[in-house]
Structure 1
Amino acid sequence: MDKGEFLKVKYDDYTYKERMLLMYTDKCTANCSHCAAESSPYNNSKMSVEEARQYIEIAASKGFKCILWTGGEVFIYYDEIVELTEYGHSLGLAFTIDTNAYWAVSEAIACEKLERLQRAGVVHIGVSCDAFHLKYIPVQRVVNAVKAAQHLSLSSIVSFTYSGDGEADNKILNDLKDFKVPFEACAVAKVGFAKSLPEEVFGSIDISQVGDCGELGPLVRPGGSVIGCCNPTVPKESPVFIGTGRGNFEENVGRYLKSDCINSISELGFKTFYNMLSEDSAFSKYKMKKYSHCCEFCEDIFTNKYLSGKIIGFIEKSKESNQ
C-alpha cells in the first residue's frame, strides 16, 4: 500500500464508487428527535451476519475499497461487527464506524473495544455528540472514545449537529474544545425524524452554490434496499433510491455504479440542477423555500415527477453531448 492509499483513513476520503455504507441495524440506544435514520431502541431490524458477509463479498468484487458501519448503533452487535470486519479486511477492504459512544463508560474500556476493532480492520471512528444525543449519552463518554482512539493512533472525529438551543450547543462545543477533541459541525437536515422539529432548529443554505452533496455512496439498509446516498429515508420514487430486495443486492449495486443520476450529482452538483430549473414556473415554490441541507432539495426535485423528468432529460442530453 503506497502512502496515498495509507492516508485514506476516513469514509469521506474515498470516492462515491469506492465507498459503501452498511446500515447494520435500525436499533439504537438513543431516540434522538433529529435522527435521519429514524432509529430508536424500539426498532429491532438488522442484517444477519450471513447477509452482511454477502454484501461485503460483493462490495469487494465490485471494486469498493471502504465500508462504513452505520446504523442505528452498531456497537449493540459489537462481536458480530468485529467478526465481519475481520472477514472484509481479509478481502482488502478498509472499515470505518459510526457510533454514539454509549459503550465508552471509561477510557480503558473504550481502548479495549477500539483496539480489537483496529486489529480487525477499522481505520476510523466517527462519534456523534450534540444536544440531541446528550439526553442519552454524556459528553464524557464521547471524550473517552476519542481519547482512546487517539491513544491507539486511530483516526477519529466528533460529528456535532446544531440543535437551535444556543446555550446547550455552546456548552457542548466548549467541552469538546476543552478536552481537545477534534470535531466537525453541521446543521440539521430536515429528513427522517427531523421533519417534526420546529423551524427555528434549521439553518439556511444557498442551493444555487451547492455542488456534490458529498455523501454519495450506496447505503444498504437492513432489509436489503440500496440507496444512492447516506439518507436512509429517500422516497422510493426518487432516482436516488436504487432498488429493493435482499436477493437483488448485486444487481442494485451494479445499477448504482451505472446510474446517470448519481454520476451527474457528483460531476455537476446540485447548483447545476438548481440553475437549470430556475426559470421553470413549476420550480418557483422551491426557489422561495429555505433549505438547511441539500438532502431536502434533492427530495423535493426528485419526488416531483415533472421536475425529476426535466432533470433526467437534462442529464441524458448532457451525456449525449459528451459522447
Structure 2
Amino acid sequence: MCETNNLILQPRLAAILMTYQCTAKCDECCFSCSPSLKNTALSYEKIKSFLDQISEISSIKIVVFTGGECFINFPLLKKCIRYAHNIGLMTRCVTNGFWANSIENARRKIKELKAEGLSELNFSTGDSHQEFIPVEKVLNGVIACAEEELEVCVSVETNDSKNFKVEDFINHPLFLENIKSSTLEEFVDIIPATWVSFHSDNTYIFDSNLSYEDTGCNGMFDTIALEGRGDIMGCCGLTSNDIKELHLGKLTDNNLSEMLFEHQSDFIKIWIFVEGAKKVFEQASAWAGEIPEVYAHKCLYCAYLYNNPKLLKAIQENYQEVQEDILSRYLQKSVQFNLLTT
C-alpha cells in the first residue's frame, strides 16, 4: 500500500507514458518521440503495479494514458483502461488520431474504449502534427467521441509562426457539418497550446505581451507519472525529460510514497511551486550576476534553470535569503491546494 499521510501535498493526477514510439515525428516534440523508438514500451505488469500504487492515493482521481502514441498497442491500451476503471480511476487518453482513418474505424475504436471505461480523450494537431496526421483523422475521432458523449479536447499547436489555428479546426467542413451548432458541441473543447522550440534552431514568433501567472506552478507537485523507461516523474511538463531532478527513480513495489516524500522536500521545487520557475530563474540570475533571458513558456524557464550549473550554485549559496518567506507561503498554499483534491 502506498501510504501518503506523511505528504504535505496530495497529487491530483497520474500519467502513464506508455511508449516513446509515435506514428509522427514532430519537429519539436517535447519528449522527442518518433516511429523508430520501438523498444520503449512499458509492460502491462509495470503499468498495473503503478496503477495499484496510485489507487491508494485518495486524492488521485484520474490517470492519463499518453506517450508517444498510446494507441499503437491498442489491445494493451484497452486492457490498461479496463484495469484502471475497475479499481475506481477515471481515464483519459492523449493521441494524435492516426487510427481514425475513417469515421467507421473511429466509431469502432471509441465504442470499444468507452466499453472498457474510458472517460475522456484528448487530441493534438497543428502544423507539425499535420505533416504526418491529416486533420481529417482528428475530426473523425472527435465526431466519434462526441457521438458517444465522451468529453473530448483538441489541443492546437499555437504561436504566431503557425499557419493552422483553432479557428481553422472549428471552421473545417467536417466540424461544421457534424459538430457545430448541434447537441454534440457541448462535449468538444478546442484550445490553443503554446508550441515552442526545444531541440532545434527553429525560431518562432510569439506575442510580445507574454505573461505568466504569479500563483506558482502547481504542476510541480500535482502530477505523478510513469514514463516509458520505467522512471517515476514528479512532473510531466514539457521539459521534464530534460531535467534529471524530476526523474525520481525506478518504480518498484511500494516505493512510490518514498519518492514523493523526497520530491516534496526539495527546496527549489517548493520555490517553483510557490512562485513559478520564471521568478526563481530571475532571482537566481540576479544572484549570479547574469541578465535573465526571456522565454515563451514557463517550462523553458524550469529547464534552463536546472541545466545551468551557475544558477544552481547561486541558489545553493543564497537561498537562505528567501527560505523563511517561501516555506511560510508554501504551507499557506498547501492548504488551498489540498482543498482542491477533496
After superposition, the Cα gap between the structure-2 partners of 1:206 and 1:31, relative to the gap in structure 1 and judged at 3 Å, is same
> Who is 2:301 aligned against?
297
> Counterparts of 2:140 and 2:277 in 1: how far apart (Å)?
38
User: How much has 1:257 moved relative to structure 2?
Assistant: 5.4
Which residues in structure 2 correspond to 1:200-239 (within 5 Å)? 200=204, 206=210, 209-213=213-217, 215-216=219-220, 217-230=223-236, 231=238, 232-236=240-244, 238=245
After superposition, the Cα gap between the structure-2 partners of 1:119 and 1:255, relative to the gap in structure 1 and judged at 3 Å, is farther
Q: Which amino acid aligns with 1:52?
A: I
State the Cα deviation string for residues 201-246 of structure 1 (Å, max 9, x = none).
Answer: 556564664544464412321122222222342321x4xx142223
Give the alignment partner of residue 272 of structure 2, picking from 259, 265, 283: 265
User: How much has 1:177 moved relative to structure 2?
Assistant: 3.0
Structure 2: gaps of 5 or more residues:
1-8, 181-187, 332-342
User: How much has 1:308 moved relative to structure 2?
Assistant: 4.3
Q: Which amino acid aligns with 2:189?
A: P
User: How much has 1:19 moved relative to structure 2?
Assistant: 0.3
> Who is 2:20 aligned against?
26
* Identity percentage of aligned residues: 22
User: How much has 1:320 moved relative to structure 2?
Assistant: 5.1
User: How much has 1:58 moved relative to structure 2?
Assistant: 0.6
Which residues in structure 2 correspond to 1:97-136 (within 5 Å)? 97-136=93-132
**Aligned residues: CA RMSD:** 2.9
> Counterparts of 1:245 and 1:117 in 2: how far apart (Å)?
29
> Counterparts of 1:311 and 1:111 in 2: how far apart (Å)?
57
Which residues in structure 2 correspond to 1:47-86 (within 5 Å)? 47-63=42-58, 64-86=60-82
After superposition, the Cα gap between the structure-2 partners of 1:321 and 1:47, relative to the gap in structure 1 and judged at 3 Å, is same
Whether the 8 Å contact between 1:211 and 1:270 is mirrored in structure 2 is no
TM-score of the superposition, structure 2-length normalised? 0.77
Give the alignment partner of residue 259 of structure 2, picking from 245, 252, 257: 252
Whether the 8 Å contact between 2:158 and 2:193 is mirrored in structure 1 is yes
After superposition, the Cα gap between the structure-2 partners of 1:205 and 1:222, relative to the gap in structure 1 and judged at 3 Å, is farther
Structure 1: gaps of 5 or more residues:
1-14
> Counterparts of 2:143 and 2:51 in 1: how far apart (Å)?
30
> Who is 2:339 aligned against?
none
Match of 1:40, SS state, is coil
- Give the number of the structure whose residues are more often helix, by fraction: 1
After superposition, the Cα gap between the structure-2 partners of 1:102 and 1:169, relative to the gap in structure 1 and judged at 3 Å, is same
> Who is 2:11 aligned against?
17
> Counterparts of 1:129 and 1:16 in 2: how far apart (Å)?
32
After superposition, the Cα gap between the structure-2 partners of 1:320 and 1:154, relative to the gap in structure 1 and judged at 3 Å, is closer
After superposition, the Cα gap between the structure-2 partners of 1:300 and 1:16, relative to the gap in structure 1 and judged at 3 Å, is farther
Which residues in structure 2 correspond to 1:141-160 (within 5 Å)? 141-160=137-156
Whether the 8 Å contact between 2:248 and 2:259 is mirrored in structure 1 is yes
Match of 1:222, SS state, is coil
State the Cα deviation string for residues 82-137 of structure 1 (Å, max 9, x = none).
Answer: 11111111111111110000000122221221122122222111101101011111
Whether the 8 Å contact between 1:205 and 1:291 is mirrored in structure 2 is no
Q: Which amino acid aligns with 1:36?
A: C
1:198 equivalent to 2:202? Answer yes
After superposing the two structures, state which structure 1 stretch, 147-156 or 309-318, moved more: 309-318
> Counterparts of 1:315 and 1:221 in 2: how far apart (Å)?
34
Q: Which amino acid aligns with 2:191?
A: E
State the Cα deviation string for residues 188-209 of structure 1 (Å, max 9, x = none).
Answer: 2333xxx304223556564664
